[in-house]
Structure 1
Amino acid sequence: MTMNRSWLLVGWVTIFLVGTDLFVVASFLPAISQDLHHPASSLTMLISIFSIVYAIACPIQARIAERFGVGNMLLFGILTLGLANFYTAVAHNLNNLLLSRALAGLAAASISPMIYVLTANRARPEERAGKLALINSGLIIALILGAPLGLALSVHAGWRSVFTLLAVALLLMWPVNKMTWHNEVGSTTRSKASAEHLTTGWMFFLCMICWAASVYATYTLLSSAMSNEYHVSENNMALVLTSYGIGAALGGILGGKLADRFGASSIVRLAFCLMIVSLLLMMAIYPTHQLGWLSFNLFLFALVAYGFFPALQACAAQVFVARRSTVMGLLSSCLYVGITLGSAAGGKLFSVGGMTLVQCYSIAIAVLGLILSMFIHGKCRE
């Protein structure tokens, strides 16, 4: 195992670019609307089609990677995402934009799970969760910094220039990744892969769905709730969401470190427990309309919740060796399934009973996730 840790930086930058490509689109909707003469509300499809294609393609691309090599699939994804961003930059009608974002979703499905697998392969077992957490932080930092920077640049140079720059950056990262992962191009032998049955991983997949549904039901509805009930200004809302993002970034890294020290399955269960406590606290704070305390509560919620992600990945990587790419791909799909379920259910509940009912839903799903996580301990050997 190489002692050169430059691969961590390469993986982080690549994930950061993927995250920026995903998150920056939402901030461009008004500008795209003006450019293409379409209402901004109809352009949310640009985000939806990326997510749908990504969720469907992740396990498919991961399964192909078992045959043709994880490194090869990663290189395919980086090249394709670079070309997809060029396509987005030159698209002059909605149909071409939708096709470009669908292609971007397919490409991203060939990148993120592969980098998770390569990280799990390169890291020592006692450092695996921490390294996965560092890689995952690239996505969160993209949400906090990448999207706002892209928006600021678009004000001066236009939204198309941002996608052009992303395309150039990704194509420049292609040879860097090729050199970094040149030893990771082999395929998985059929005998090793067939010895690991994916049916034994059901608890990992269900835990991921529960976590995402619980977290994103509350997070997705929060902006609407605070605008309607708190009448919060856009600047104050940005500060609230930034506190959440900082908590998520720190929580992921801290959770990875703790998982390496105390065991990944233990941190999975601890994350669910602390999420429940934090959500109960939020139910008490939210009706008081004290923005400062709510911001601090959101910071704590993200801090305790996001340690779950690298811990579950590390635990799954420990159980599945030959089929890591498929399992990581399925976990990525389950993340999007959970986000979709949480957002949809949260929206329905919010219209019926407001934010309190949404928080009750998040708590109930977190409790279910905690129960399911009890089955992980026997599979993940601490």
Structure 2
Amino acid sequence: MSWITLFLMGTDLFVVSPLLPFISKEFVLSPALAGWMVTVFAVTYALSAPFFGWISDKKGRRKFVTFGLLLFVLANILTAYAPSFLLLIVSRILVGFSAASITPTIYAIIGDIAPPSRRGTWLSIVISGHLTALWAGAPFGTLLEHFFGWRSVFVVLAILGAILSAINFKTWASIPNKSKTKITRQGNSSRILGSVSVTAIWAISMYSLYVYLGSALYSENHFSSSKIAEAVIFYGVGAVLGSLLSGKLTDHFGETKISKVTLILLTFILICLGIFFSYGELVYVFLFLWALVGYAGFTSYQARLAMEYPLKRGIAMAWNNTALYIGITIGSMIGGFVISNGGFHLLPFVSSAAVFISFLISLQKTKKSKKASAF
């Protein structure tokens, strides 16, 4: 159920981008102005997720997943029937609130109910639902637009959201309001913010490059639209497999070790991607490896946070998702600056440097944790 719910959330997020040309045409907008549909969603999510995480820790998770899905239904109905672009923007703000209520809360629920020895695997399966939307949900939405128009996509999303709201309400009826796990580490806000800074810099490294991937493949490799689509599929499949593989490795070797190893591997893979990017179809291999290792690291780090903050999983997961969206926003800005001033060929190396910084912060965090444990 969690997998399907996050697949729906991911589809709603990823499907907007390929629909923007059709929305722009209907409302007679420039692509940049239509892109605000994505921006307001991301900003709303980043600002509101910590609040929902904090309150779910105190009031119980079930009601906020259900509330989020009902709001998701209303927001997508408004998107589907919005007569003006202003109401379209309002609807995407509401979707941002709904996703902020649902996604980190689902992660926290899984962290609460999963056996400690299986927490990595459980989280990896749930996260793979969100990532599967990247290469399966969004293309399906685009196909739906081809036959029935872009508004039909959001009608279908609303219908599915309504069904899932009832199922989730029943599914999570038996979970406790608060985790009963014995606390192993002080979960104060400053320490949580320090922890999620690793995710923020990881997101900068991933999305400063990914946002401009299609443009780069077109300009540097002269790929057709079909080849660009193939490249994205390689990336998407790598992301899903990386998330699933990470769960098994995390349960076997531990959250801390896998999160650090994947960060250092990602540093070298991005360097190789920069060197071999213009080597035709060989880039598919490095796109696959980039996503495989990158999202394995993200999944293992989610499990690490769930382990380190057992009594504040809701707020920790929420801040981690806020850090993710902040990193995506900053990464897109850095990517645009690098491309404008130095060209795309520099971007993989800049991303590699960002990952290495994230790795160094992760090491410092581990040292502080060991000192606290010894004390």
| Range into which the TM-score falls when normalised by the shorter chain | over 0.9
Give the C-alpha shift of residue 188 in structure 1: 7.2
Q: Which moved more, 1:270-279 or 1:326-335?
A: 270-279
Matched, 1:130 2:121: yes
Q: TM-score scaled to structure 2, two decimals? A: 0.94
Alignment deviations for residues 257-315 of structure 1 (CA, whole Å, 9 cap, x no partner) = 111110111111111111111012112212xx322111111111111111111211111
Matched, 1:307 2:296: yes
Paired position in structure 2 for 1:114 = 105
Paired position in structure 1 for 2:27 = 36
Paired position in structure 1 for 2:343 = 354
1:172 aligns with one of 147, 163, 175: 163
For the 8 Å contact 1:67–1:188, the answer to whether it is kept is no
For the 8 Å contact 1:36–1:92, the answer to whether it is kept is no
Alignment of 1:70-219 (within 5 A): 70-184=61-175, 186=177, 196-219=187-210
Paired position in structure 1 for 2:364 = 375
Paired position in structure 1 for 2:279 = 290
Alignment deviations for residues 80-121 of structure 1 (CA, whole Å, 9 cap, x no partner) = 001111111110100000000000000000000000001111
Paired position in structure 2 for 1:366 = 355
Alignment of 1:271-290 (within 5 A): 271-286=262-277, 289-290=278-279
For the 8 Å contact 2:12–2:157, the answer to whether it is kept is yes
Structure 2 alignment gaps of length 5 or more:
none
Partner secondary structure for residue 175 of structure 2? coil
For the 8 Å contact 1:74–1:111, the answer to whether it is kept is yes
Give the C-alpha shift of residue 144 in structure 1: 0.4
Paired position in structure 2 for 1:238 = 229
Partner secondary structure for residue 290 of structure 1? coil
Give the C-alpha shift of residue 12 in structure 1: 0.5
**Counterpart residue type for residue 217 of structure 2:** M
For the 8 Å contact 2:186–2:309, the answer to whether it is kept is no
Change (3 A) 1:350 1:83: same
What is the rounded CA distance, in whole Å, between the counterparts of 1:94 and 1:224 in structure 2? 27
What is the rounded CA distance, in whole Å, between the counterparts of 1:32 and 1:201 in structure 2? 39
Q: TM-score scaled to structure 1, two decimals? A: 0.92
For the 8 Å contact 1:212–1:338, the answer to whether it is kept is yes
Give the C-alpha shift of residue 255 in structure 1: 1.2
For the 8 Å contact 1:72–1:185, the answer to whether it is kept is no
2:315 aligns with one of 297, 314, 326: 326
Give the C-alpha shift of residue 322 in structure 1: 1.5
**Counterpart residue type for residue 80 of structure 2:** A
Give the C-alpha shift of residue 355 in structure 1: 2.0
Give the C-alpha shift of residue 185 in structure 1: 5.9
What is the rounded CA distance, in whole Å, between the counterparts of 2:163 and 2:99 in structure 1? 16
What is the rounded CA distance, in whole Å, between the counterparts of 1:99 and 1:319 in structure 2? 37
Give the C-alpha shift of residue 187 in structure 1: 5.2
**Counterpart residue type for residue 249 of structure 1:** V
Structure 1 alignment gaps of length 5 or more:
1-9
Aligned pairs, how many?
369
For the 8 Å contact 1:71–1:185, the answer to whether it is kept is no
The sequence identity of aligned pairs, in percent, is 34
Paired position in structure 1 for 2:243 = 252
**Counterpart residue type for residue 125 of structure 2:** L
RMSD of aligned C-alpha atoms?
A: 2.0
